[in-house]
Amino acid sequence: MTIAKHVLSALGALALLVAGWPALAQEKFPAHPVTMVVPFPPGGVADQTGRPLAAAMEKVLKQPVIVSNKVGAGGAVGMAAAANAKPDGYTILMALSSISIIPEADKLFDRKPAYQMDQLAPIALISSDPTVLVVPAEMPWKTVADFVADAKKRPGEISFSSSGLYGTLHMAMEMFAHGAGIKLRHVPFNGAGPAMTALLGGHVNALASGPGVVIPQIKAGKLRALAGWGDKRLPVLPDVPTFKELGFKDVEFYIWSGVFVPAATPAEVRKTLRETVKQAVASAEFKDAMTKLETPIAYLDAPEFKKFWDKDAAMLAAAVKKVGRIEEKK
Amino acid sequence: MAETLHNLALGFSVATSPEMLLFAFAGCLVGTLVGMLPGVGPLAGISLLLPATYGLNPTAAIVLLGGIYYGAMYGGSTTSILMRIPGEAASVMTCLDGYAMTQKGRAGAALAIAAIGSFVAGTLSVVGLMLLAPPLADLALRFGPPEYFGLLVLGLFVLAALSGGSVAKTLAMAVLGLFLGTIGIDLMSGFFRFQYGLHELGDGIGIVPVAVGLFGISEILLALGRAEPPRVQKPKLRELLPSRRELAESAAPIGRGTVLGFFIGIIPGSAHIISSFVSYALERKISKHPERFGQGAVAGVAGPESANNAAACGAFVPMLALGVPSGPIPAVMLAALMVHGVAPGPMLMAEQPKLFWGFVASMYIGNLMLLVLNLPLVGLLVNLLRVPYAYLYPAILAFCVLGVYAVNQSVIDVWIMIAMGGLGVLLRKFDFEVAPVVLGLVLSPMLEVALRQSLAMSAGDWSIFVTRPIAATLVGFAVVLALAGVASSLRGRAAWRRRLGLES
């Protein structure tokens, strides 16, 4: 008898739950798990930032935040998936600077764009890390001035590797080359890892890299850092000047990561998400995770992030246009 | 030497703690399963489990992930041998002779030889890693795009030696594979090629859907066309183990596969996939009975299976000695270390002796575990063949679809697999071999990128391939092979004409 009673009451509760589900979902976000789309493979910058953030957001939202790596076409597949997702706040996107490059490259090649930037609305900037110019230690250049002087002597002969054509590491180098008025030889690779391997093997002469991966190589005496792209020196490399200090005014570049939602997401849901990310970023566990990765947190809330993004996107669009289509450069 | 032994003792003291033994075992077990599931290879397996390692300490994380990598090399052979379905890209060659052995009732022997070969190769490679890592890593880094190009050109000649059938047919299949490899984004200009508006094709066609389709799905479809169902096998217990002769025949191929695989494995990039192809071609080339290949030659299982395990271990050389992300899998493993605040670099071995030597020792233990795990499994797995085909084939199809979909969560990949299954049926009906298609697809994107990166490095000057010693040696070797091939085919033609009395 008692068992039957329990079963009945459980069934009743279940029925209530099912009946009440849509109503609940409309009333209060979040009523079920949130998916965080990471458009890059596990182990990449976006993934390594996204996972601890998702873990910290769960505690605030009281709902699971599931990381889903939707990989392909340099991030275009995942970003397009998020841009076209149902705008209910249950799909959020963890993206990098390349979010502004892909639509520009699509434009350059007259392709049907994977997504438009106005399909996505910014929630918060999470991190922003300036790239560093590194050369193999056996190269003669001790300063940027040496490098530029040599490059002017033999235009197009000093080579650099990159994570891929129009990729972030390529754009950073082009900004510097343009600012210094020099011509370098570009050897694109498929990702930042192979680009670093080629530099360490001495197959190319320079690379603009994120600071985390180069510091052990600099300490071991394999690589030398000449300058950074930030607006101030990196705490881990206090002796390395910035391009700004050296008089290159517009040479500023960051690999940043930020959270986005589909543009049509309702304002109150966006507000909840903004508040969630703000608290998550401030949590001790997230700070600890980012310290281990040696990536500084650079939190900006949606309005300031929007300004930052607009400026960065304009800069990147200009850089992509400057590089142009490869064939047309001959 | 004394220092190495001292370090190794330290390593074993780390690796034999109950916690590390557990993680090594878990890694090996998951790896074996990941290898068996068609489609899901070691990269997908490691990527899926990476987040789970965030809560562990860095040594445990790398022991677990490493176990998945070399465990997958053990497991990958199982479905290749039993069902002609490559569990992952490195097991494609095992489908040929491994499955032929199964059809002859030697499935147990093939599985056992694959496990023994993997064990020998894995263990010897760890010795190589332990003793030679720093000098080998420096050598590996000297492989830039021109050297890579030379190696891949050599790989092209391997294609010709893959099958015993008509050379024209083999080359036609290779060219088909090379063409399939041109689909996707052009790395050097950013253009999409043959993409037809599908963003999923931007990264090109995956090797796994093509291999599973051409080998596995086609086998199932062909079975449907037969008037009688394939005979259900009833393997006897005493037939499970390899005979003395089979063991003797596999010893030398295991040795050659190990050396070959290890050296191909240390080269940064994705060349480790071709290690099993090269090993198969080598064994066929130097065999006294090349006609047995494809009909269940023991060497055709022993060589490639040893090579892929040795290559998996070789890939750890530049990763551990220099902190270089030398391929997609080492890159993910380095990420696992970075999450824990261990910065991988040239100082890793000196600064983290417990981690490095603990990992090395765990690989000795892991290989032993895999042997102990896999040999008894042989008996169990062979019994899968007792399942009537009416139940077995639908189950295999379901696993193929699931596995191929799971890698990128892409339905397009499933369609590619199905289309390739149809293509495979047609090709095999007309007596074309499908292995060259897969090797062509593996080689094509790497070959193109290496060529164009080399020319970007030299600003279009082709002399870059002869002025760099390693590249020049490899290209020279390839030219000699090409000339030898042309000469032998000319001689053959002349002999044919003489036989017909066309020339006096």
- Does residue A214 carry a pLDDT above 70? yes
- Containing H/E element for A226? strand A223-228
CATH number among 3.40.50.300, 3.40.50.2300, 3.90.1170.50, 3.40.190.150, domain A33-128+254-323: 3.40.190.150
User: Which one-letter amino acid corresponds to residue A285?
Assistant: E
What is the C-alpha separation between A212 and B324, in angstroms, rounded? 13
* Calculated CA dihedral for residues B95, B96, B98, B99, nearest 10 degrees: 80
Question: Would an 8 Å CB–CB cutoff place A237 in contact with chain B?
Answer: no
Residue B500: inside a domain, yes or no? no
Q: Is the pLDDT of residue B306 over 90?
A: yes
List the single range of A25-34, A308-317, B56-65, B212-221 with lowest mean pLDDT.
A25-34
Omega cis (within 30) before B445: no
CB contact under 8 A, A292 and B338: yes
Q: Does B339 touch chain A (CB under 8 A)?
A: yes
- A320 contacts A105 by C-beta, under 8 angstroms: yes
Residues 6+ apart with CB under 8 A from A276: A57, A60, A61
The answer to whether residue B503 sits within a structural domain is no
Q: What is the pLDDT of residues B2-15, one digit of tens each?
A: 888 888 999 999 99
Domain range A132-252, CATH architecture:
3-Layer(aba) Sandwich (3.40)
For chain B, give the mean pLDDT.
87
What's residue A23's pLDDT? 45
Predicted confidence (pLDDT) at residue B321 exceeds the cutoff of 50: yes
**Confidence check: pLDDT of A2 > 70:** no
Q: Please give the residue range of the domain that contains residue B323.
A: 2-490
Which pLDDT does position A18 carry in this prediction? 47
Mean pLDDT along residues B478-499: 78
Can you give the pLDDT at residue B98?
A: 93
Chain B stretch 423-442, residues whose beta carbon is closer than 8 A to a beta carbon of chain A: none
User: Which chain B residues contact residue A190 at CB under 8 A?
Assistant: 187, 449
Q: What's the average model confidence in pLDDT over A231-244?
A: 91
What is the complex's ipTM, to 2 decimals?
0.85
In chain A, which residues have their Cβ closer than 8 Å to the Cβ of B348? 216
More confident residue, B120 or A74: B120
Cβ neighbours of A326 in B, within 8 Å: 188-190
pLDDT value for B134 = 83
Q: Please count the structural domains in chain B.
A: 1
CA distance A196 to B326: 9
Whether residue A203 and residue B145 make contact (CB cut-off 8 A), yes or no, is yes
Query: CB contacts < 8 Å between A and B, how many?
Result: 150
Is B498 among the domain residues?
A: no
Is B396 in contact with B216 (CB distance < 8 Å)? Answer: yes
**Cα–Cα distance between B145 and B396 in angstroms, integer?**
40
Q: CA-CA distance, B343 to B436, in Å (whole number)? A: 41
Greater confidence (B498 vs A58) lies with: A58
Q: Tokens 């963003």 belong to which residue?
A: B199
Q: Is A194 close to B347, i.e. CB distance below 8 A?
A: no
CB contact (8 A) between residue B347 and residue A193: no
Interface touch B346/A216, C-beta < 8 Å: yes
- Is B504 within the bounds of a domain? no
Is B322 a residue whose pLDDT tops 70?
yes
pLDDT at residue A26 is higher than 60? no
The pLDDT value given to residue A322: 82
Which of A167-181, A277-291, B477-491 comes out lowest in average pLDDT? B477-491
Nearest by CB to A48, from B192, B339, B348: name it: B339
Q: What is the mean pLDDT of residues B447-464?
A: 91
Classified as helix, coil or strand, A260 is strand
Candidates A194, A198, A199, A211; CA nearest to A254 is A211
Instruction: Tell me if B504 sits within 8 A of B494, measured CB to CB.
Output: no
Q: Would B445 be classed as within a structural domain? A: yes
Give the residue-averaged pLDDT of A161-182. Answer: 89
Domain ranges of chain A: 33-128+254-323, 132-252
Cβ-defined contact of B189 to A326 (cutoff 8 Å): yes
At residue A100, does pLDDT exceed 50?
yes
CA distance A195 to chain B (A): 10
**pLDDT of amino acid A5:** 54
The yes-or-no verdict on residue A3 having pLDDT over 70 is no
Does residue B200 sit at the A interface (CB-CB below 8 Å)? yes
Q: Is there a contact between A165 and B145 if contact means CB atoms under 8 Å apart? A: no
pLDDT of residue A134: 96
Closest to B317 in 3D by CA, of B116, B92, B139, B93: B139
Question: How far is CA B98 from its chain centroid?
Answer: 14
Alpha-carbon distance B476 to nearest alpha carbon in chain A (angstroms):
21
Which is more confidently placed, B504 or B312?
A: B312
**Cβ(B303)–Cβ(B176) below 8 Å:** no
pLDDT digits (tens, 9 = 90+) for B422-438: 999 999 999 998 989 99
In a domain, B261, yes or no: yes
Torsion (CA) B65, B67, B69, B72 in degrees, nearest 10: -130
- Give the pLDDT band of residue A17 (cuts 50, 70, 90): very low
Is A196 an 8 Å CB contact of chain B?
yes
Could you tell me if residue B501 is inside a domain?
no
Would you say residue B342 lies in a domain?
A: yes
Mean pLDDT of A232-257: 91
Enumerate the residues of chain B whose CB falls inside 8 A of the CB of residue A165.
Answer: 187-190
Which structure tokens are listed for A108?
A: 């350059």
- pLDDT of A1 above 60: no
> With 50 as the cut, is the pLDDT of residue A25 above it?
no
Residues 79-98 on A with a CB inside 8 Å of B are: 80
pLDDT, chain A, mean = 85
Whether B452 has its CB under 8 Å from any CB of chain A: the answer is no
- Nearest residue of A to residue B318 by CA position? A197
Q: What single letter denotes the amino acid at residue A83?
A: A
Q: Rounded to the nearest 5°, which phi and psi values hold at B346?
A: -65, -20
Convert B166-187 to b/e letters by CB count within 10 Å (16 or more is b).
eeebbeebbebbbebbebbbeb
Percent of chain B with pLDDT over 90: 42
Contact A327 B192 (CB under 8 A): no
Instruction: Compute the nearest-CA separation of A269 from chain B (Å).
Output: 28
Q: CB count, 10 Å around CB of A238?
A: 7
